[in-house]
Amino acid sequence: MAQPITIDSEAVGQRIDNFIFKYLKGVPKERVYRAIRRGEVRVNRGRIQPDYRLQLGDQVRIPPLTLGRSTQPQPPRLEVKQELLQRIVYEDPGLIVLAKPAGMPVHGGSGIRGGVIELLRLIRPDLKFLELIHRLDRETSGCLLLAKKRQTLLTWHELLTRRQVRKQYLALVKNEWQGGARRIEAPLLKNTLSSGERLVKVDPQGKPAITLVRPLKIFKGMSLVEVSPLTGRTHQIRVHLQHVGHPIAADQKYGDPDFNRRLKRQGLKRLFLHAAAISTPDFGLCILLEPDLQHFLAHN
């Protein structure tokens, strides 16, 4: 039988998908997303998108979903635990900043038992509250913020909404960049396949998206650029750079296959996209380029 839940102040600002994940621990995430798409999950009797943020007093319908054990996160191996703890580059009473490694998802799902958030909850049982402030693609490394308090989460979400958070990425792209800094404005339309895979394309029917790009170094046939997204659309940087003829190196979804194969022969084994810095009027932090990417640049 479906359960009605009234949202209190503790849940305000949470995404509906994250709320369902926590409320129905062990339910496969693919099943939760399917329930949202089908309208089995409702807010105030209406359909919602997975990124809907809960408001005080919202009436949420929780459908009777079957629990599954296969997606429960397992206690991490000792080496994984040590690596994650070593990658905490900043911590205060309300905030954790992690240098996320490439290849690790920020949360479980799509057959993955545990991502950064699930593993950190297991590693740090002393934290009664721990939520992602924002997300990074699985293959992107760098600066990832997590909130240890509800108020910290709401404060950062407010800053993000007001565009008072500056994110800076480093990307290696195909072709030699012509001219100086460029502002890319192209609406993005997201399509989620039945498998749960997300594909994004430039489309007039999409949501507005703005990305600033500044060249840092030009190589033969490729360029190192600094990228600052002014909006936070899914796969925004990757799709915008592809759109202007500069796909990111080793991007298996939006990149150039021939370019990727050539770079793989030269030693690049992962997406060359790194979240290098994040700042607000009162906070700033930089994370150095990952050693494997530094090594590739130094030898190519």
- The CATH number assigned to the domain with range 166-298 reads 3.30.2350.10
**78-157: CATH class:** alpha beta
By the 8 A CB rule, do 40 and 66 touch? no
Region of 13 (left: φ > 0; alpha: ψ -120 to 50; beta: rest) is: left
Please give the pLDDT value at position 197: 73
Cα separations in angstroms, 285 against 55, 142, 268, 282: 31, 11, 26, 11
| Catalytic site residue from 137, 251, 258, 292 | 137
By the 8 A CB rule, do 292 and 188 touch? no
Per-residue pLDDT reduced to its tens digit, 56-104: 889 999 888 765 444 455 667 888 889 899 999 999 999 999 999 999 9
Please give the pLDDT value at position 112: 45
Least confident segment among 120-124, 164-168, 216-220, 236-240: 120-124
pLDDT at 25 exceeding the cut of 80: no
Residue found by looking up tokens 């621990």 in the block = 25
Per-residue pLDDT reduced to its tens digit, 273-298: 999 999 999 999 999 999 999 999 99
Percentage of the chain exceeding pLDDT 70: 91
- The CATH number assigned to the domain with range 3-62 reads 3.10.290.10
Pairwise pLDDT comparison (150 vs 11), residue with the higher score: 150
Cα separations in angstroms, 202 against 3, 196, 254: 39, 20, 12
Domain parsing of the chain, residue ranges: 3-62, 78-157, 166-298
- What is d(CA 197, CA 213) in angstroms, rounded to the nearest whole number? 27
Please give the pLDDT value at position 1: 66
Percentage of the chain exceeding pLDDT 90: 62
Q: Hey, how many other C-beta atoms are within 10 angstroms of the C-beta on 118?
A: 23
The runs of H, that is alpha helices, within the chain are 16-23, 29-38, 78-86, 116-123, 150-161, 236-243, 257-265, 291-298
pLDDT at 195 exceeding the cut of 90: no
Per DSSP, what are the bridge partners of residue 286?
277
Please give the pLDDT value at position 56: 85
Please give the pLDDT value at position 70: 46
- What is d(CA 91, CA 6) in angstroms, rounded to the nearest whole number? 33
Least confident segment among 27-31, 152-156, 158-162, 185-189: 27-31
Please give the pLDDT value at position 110: 45
Pairwise pLDDT comparison (193 vs 127), residue with the higher score: 127
Please give the pLDDT value at position 194: 61
Please give the pLDDT value at position 198: 78
pLDDT at 242 exceeding the cut of 60: yes
Q: What are phi and psi of 34, to 5 degrees?
A: -65, -40
pLDDT at 111 exceeding the cut of 60: no
Q: Which of 58, 59, 41, 62 is nearest to 50 (CA)?
A: 41
Round the average pLDDT of the chain to a whole number and report it. 89
Q: Hey, how many other C-beta atoms are within 10 angstroms of the C-beta on 36?
A: 20
Do 166-298 and 78-157 fall under one CATH topology? Answer: yes
- What's CA 281's distance to the chain center, in Å? 22
**Would residue 137 show up in a list of annotated catalytic residues for this protein?**
yes
